[in-house]
Structure 1
């Protein structure tokens, strides 16, 4: 019997809007029934000229949605309602509603752009903003605009910021108000202690909820490891009528069915990842316990690696999770955070297009013949990260230098794999599908040594592996790997290399690692990044390897999986990418220019020789980098020249810039021609900068500076004294008797020269910038003091009328 759901109240309006404009954005809270009722309503109204394709982000949700709709019609799955997911399909010639996972739609459009036989496409749970969903919508909008103006498009979500999607689709928004049943939230009174493990805190909160409220419980945790630990914490502590079920994506489907099926008796507790956030109705759930954590893949374009990070849930995710308790009856939600902490949660999770690996997207767009700018994306991909993805595809031979797809790229796009693994399968031998299946799945030997060979050995002969190594692989994952390997093998027939190291290098040519010198097992990867391995690992002393799994740390990634590679294998696999390179580089450690001839593969140096006849210009350019690191360090003569030039520049803005920042920025133009012969830090320390600095000025500029800001002051006796221009103030020191008769104080560029007047013993007597004023005021006191100390030297009463001198009176 068909019972009423909140979505039923707007189905008539939804059909009317689709008849009117062919597009719709539908918002409906959890439990409203949109996933199963909307496709059936469209089918009943007969508004789609062909099949209705509905996209679900997860395989379990796709199967469950198809089964529930088929059950509503009183039919078996595969009749009117069917599904297609990776590696499995249940459809027939009578199928009118087909539930598919997101990558399936992309393949359908790429193979037949006009989507023959398809009348409508529904994007369910679009708020999850997976790359495939964003790409699928962009492709459908392109198809509808150019080939199929009759194609109906619907985007549905429980927590969708609908306005941007509606603008992109040029579609009306319909909202189903209210939850099916009220859910009462409960927050902690104080935050969880930092010393308490998450799993213990979740287990305690779950037991409290079961003790307080009726019904079965759905507990949200970030991943399988946390589920297993919470399961262990709850074992033996649950009420006797309660069964415990894990639920995560890597489980066999039969075990997933047990988790979502009604409890045979008593009640149950389901420990689930975000797989249970949307589209699933788990019978009997009245309690939700939310650990407040989510696991997301984050891609670092700098390292070319993705890593899983555990973060706080967003408010949208928390709302989705809470709604699971109100699907079939009023419920409660216990949150592992305080009400105050809820205010700090982000509103929505980031779209995958903002944080994910764009390599697959770049390949699909190249196959489609479009660019990000030409496509209608809700969030356009970041230009720099998209270029990084194209660089990877060029490295694999999937794109040419103009970023156009190659025949090889088309072959890669046809395989249901990441482009790296697709390339390995396309050019590798018969063992490539197995290795691709292993690398596509989670590690079957978590905590084991990093050697990928162990995983291959376990897959090929599980029993013998267990006896030999006394280690139990993750059997459900082993089963999935074997099934996927069989499927892939049926799609390929290339007779290429089979050595595991070679196959891995084909997929990850930028992750070939050479061990650095030293005790620590650190590796330089061919892409230029660094990686580290535990010292205790058996592969710690391997000289060359391929890192097939890294944790994505942008500073120094930790190697989680790797396979040995010989240098001969590397040379045979990449003969066109290995070559000799001449390099003159500045070595900070050695404090000198190193001229080397190196045979390289990417950043790896396979052979290194001295380059004895390196051109002087190359040496000079390398030395220039050393100058940038060391600094200019001018001697006294050069410092005076720079100070004079800066005074000149302050008075004349057309004069060349001699600021330190500008000099460093323009080293190539003024210093490089004068660097011949300098190769070491010691050479630079004794280097005469003045000729290079003077060369920055033409003849006229030199004359103007010499006149306005002279390098020397000529005393009345004709003696030249270098002017010190520190702090842009001209200074000189000289004997007081040498300026007798001077009645006008000298100036430089309008600034009085600061005189430090010295005694006959070369000790400072007076500092003045006004010599006439000194004669008229302080000189009398100085004369009185100095006559007694230096009686053999002249101390006239009127120094303005005396002749300058450096002589003393003759002895009597």
Structure 2
């Protein structure tokens, strides 16, 4: 079977058969093409078998489950076992042989192979399946293959397949697009919205929605023929719905399941069943017997808070394209029906397609792959979308901290070793550096646990729960194999400290110290506050190594999702690169504090007072305190307040060079220079002569003019001197009783005659009766009414008809 003879069987007769000649022609013409084929048309199985007639075919699938399922289906079509003409390879598991013509691999594994063998010796055609899903590995595999064709293997044929028609960018990169018709069987849509549920928040899904999904599934199972495939966002929701349907024949299908359990679900069943699945069942595989789909309408996607180094899975509404993919599962073998647990109006508001992973995911591993390829940052590669600049910068900085790339972004020898582990660079670093300390077995176990979707809040308890899980142990064995010869622990450690050390090596910025005794609030070494869930078994632990945390919108602190209790010594060892000792003179707790502090990142460890401190450094701390707490730290007596008001008026009336004495200007602190240098603590600020400091602001040529521009008093009728109130710098006020203004014809002025004062005229009892800047007008127009109102009330006072005489 090593010749280029055809592999394609005569059956089944699926729609894709009618476009196979066009696919071959497109590849013969240009060497690359795009195939658009909806679910159920046969693109995943029949196209590779057909192209195997040209030579060896490598098919890349985005998920391990789909990889194995596609290989099994193709092998069955040609009447053989997996590993003969059709084989597969996933991380830790490969079944191929000397006669293998079609090998199905995960896109991640294809990227690894391209890194080790860019020429892909012995491969004639690469098929990148389900490119519409836009995973990071899929984007990398596409870009690398295009680069290989352009510079190394122009004879390598490249086909990208998509279940959606949104392929403009793919067509730009690969050329001709071939479109297959829809699947053979129609799918009826039933809109089945719940009565009232809250939208998802983070990982939380309203239990009322799960009640509704379970009830809809029960109804569909009772009313319709065939198996029922139910789409839910994650393992937790699958377990919850399974519990609600425990009287029915329920099976689960998840990416993290044991391969044997997955295989059992993907084999035909003699009896009807309900299959609860995550997005792994959306495409690239067929769950046999399914005639009904129940769609909860939710998807779980990664989101990264790049500023805080926090990553988490969040629950979002499915896209229209995703909903169409899911519905197609019901029509693969016969006419079917999909129950959508949302309204038709809500469907119209769904996003057209899912957001590409590159837009929101942690890009550390992506950046390392680019550096390994010799294209740091992706420069010159045909990526479907360029990586966002900010997250890419964070990713490269992380790689530098791991010594995986140098200052120019080129991969280092350690970076190649990290990449060879085949997991996230942080986890690879934890494995490589943790194994010599805690032992290869425990390091591999903790890293395998961290790579799972939900390790549990108490990570050590989660470790104990999965120790006997077959898929978990398979990953542990793979990681140990990547380490090479097993290393013995350098010292004996309990499991919690061993796990905590490995977690801390992976996420040193998440080493967290309790804020106060017995509480649930923590400060992580990266500077982010974090809280345990109410009632957590970890409450009161002094130190945590946090494996997973997120910060929901609107919350000031992060929520700890998974952690392990450690001690300070373990925190110091795991976060050794973050240890710093510095001398700090700062405003803290309402006064100047001078101390020598040892910190683990943002977390203080040891503090000791400093006995000798530079006066200028203390002055800077005092100024910081003044800016934080305001000018009230100074002693503002009446004279200082009045002087500031007079200066403010002069500035308002005449402008520069009269000094600015606003809060913003005074908080600059320059006017207090000598006083700050002489001060040592908060109390010294209260002894500063504020009035003298304010007068230092006056240039010498203005000092003698202040009394003329902003006099404290102005001359009144006779020999009286009346105080001017400058509280409002735009309107200086003189207050006096009406009788005291008799004989005064014109309003007095300040600012060297430029600004009339605002007269507040009072009754004999001191109550306001009139406000004016034009005294002459008041005597003529306002006074007669005032006189008429007050002469009867105050008959003992003089109320002349002409008060100016």
- TM-score (normalised: structure 2): 0.84
Distance 1:535 1:20 in 2: 64
Corresponding position of 1:105:
110
Corresponding position of 2:602:
603
Shift of 1:720: 7.8
2:413 alignment partner, one of 407, 410, 426: 407
Distance 1:448 1:97 in 2: 39
Report the more deviating stretch, 24-33 or 2-11.
2-11
Native 8 Å contact 1:425 1:492 kept in 2: no
Corresponding position of 2:759:
755
Answer yes or no: is 1:358 the counterpart of 2:363: yes
CA 425–14 in structure 1, closer or farther in 2 if over 3 Å, else same:
same
Deviations 1:345-401 (A, max 9, x none): 222222222222222122222333334362433233332222222333333332445
Shift of 1:257: 1.2
Deviations 1:59-87 (A, max 9, x none): 11111212323333444433443222100
1:484 alignment partner, one of 478, 482, 486: 478
Corresponding position of 2:292:
287
SS in 2 for 1:179: coil
Q: How does 1:394-793 map to 2 (within 5 A)?
A: 394-401=400-407, 403-430=409-436, 431-432=439-440, 434-441=442-449, 450=458, 452=460, 454=461, 458=464, 475-490=469-484, 499=493, 500=498, 501-533=500-532, 539-550=538-549, 555-571=556-572, 577-587=578-588, 590-632=589-631, 636-637=641-642, 640-641=645-646, 643-644=648-649, 647-648=652-653, 663=665, 667=668, 675-676=676-677, 710=710, 712=712, 714-715=714-715, 719=721, 721-724=723-726, 726=728, 728-733=730-735, 737=740, 740=743, 743=746, 746=749, 748=751, 751-757=755-761, 766-778=770-782
SS in 2 for 1:728: coil
Distance 1:292 1:176 in 2: 27
2:94 alignment partner, one of 73, 89, 100: 89
Deviations 1:630-683 (A, max 9, x none): 34459533652564366258x78x9987766x648x837777776446677776
Deviations 1:210-264 (A, max 9, x none): 222222221222222332333333333x4xxxx532211122111111111112x
Native 8 Å contact 2:518 2:541 kept in 1: no
CA 84–190 in structure 1, closer or farther in 2 if over 3 Å, else same:
closer
Shift of 1:732: 2.7
Shift of 1:10: 2.3
Distance 1:699 1:26 in 2: 84
Corresponding position of 2:65:
60
Report the more deviating stretch, 784-793 or 676-685.
784-793
Corresponding position of 1:166:
171
CA 695–322 in structure 1, closer or farther in 2 if over 3 Å, else same:
farther
Corresponding position of 1:385:
391
Answer yes or no: is 1:127 the counterpart of 2:129: no
Report the more deviating stretch, 137-146 or 491-500.
491-500
Corresponding position of 1:222:
233
Distance 2:127 2:19 in 1: 16
Distance 1:518 1:425 in 2: 32
SS in 1 for 2:341: strand
Answer yes or no: is 1:19 the counterpart of 2:28: yes
Corresponding position of 2:17:
8
Distance 1:287 1:549 in 2: 36
Shift of 1:326: 0.7
Corresponding position of 1:232:
243
SS in 2 for 1:267: coil
Distance 1:373 1:750 in 2: 68
Native 8 Å contact 2:365 2:424 kept in 1: yes
SS in 1 for 2:760: strand
Task: Give the length in aligned residue pairs.
Answer: 768
Native 8 Å contact 1:84 1:99 kept in 2: yes
Corresponding position of 2:344:
339
Corresponding position of 1:255:
261
SS in 1 for 2:189: strand
Deviations 1:665-705 (A, max 9, x none): x83777777644667777667766667777677667x5899
Corresponding position of 2:187:
183
Corresponding position of 1:466:
none
Native 8 Å contact 1:7 1:176 kept in 2: yes
CA 149–758 in structure 1, closer or farther in 2 if over 3 Å, else same:
same
Native 8 Å contact 1:433 1:489 kept in 2: no
Native 8 Å contact 2:587 2:622 kept in 1: yes
Distance 1:371 1:690 in 2: 61
SS in 2 for 1:441: helix
Answer yes or no: is 1:211 the counterpart of 2:215: no
SS in 1 for 2:256: coil
Native 8 Å contact 1:188 1:338 kept in 2: yes
Distance 2:32 2:213 in 1: 43
Report the more deviating stretch, 185-194 or 666-675.
666-675
CA 667–254 in structure 1, closer or farther in 2 if over 3 Å, else same:
same
Distance 2:726 2:745 in 1: 20
- TM-score (normalised: structure 1): 0.83
Native 8 Å contact 1:646 1:657 kept in 2: yes
Distance 1:697 1:52 in 2: 86
Distance 1:704 1:124 in 2: 86
Deviations 1:88-109 (A, max 9, x none): 1123344343221121122222
Distance 2:178 2:659 in 1: 67
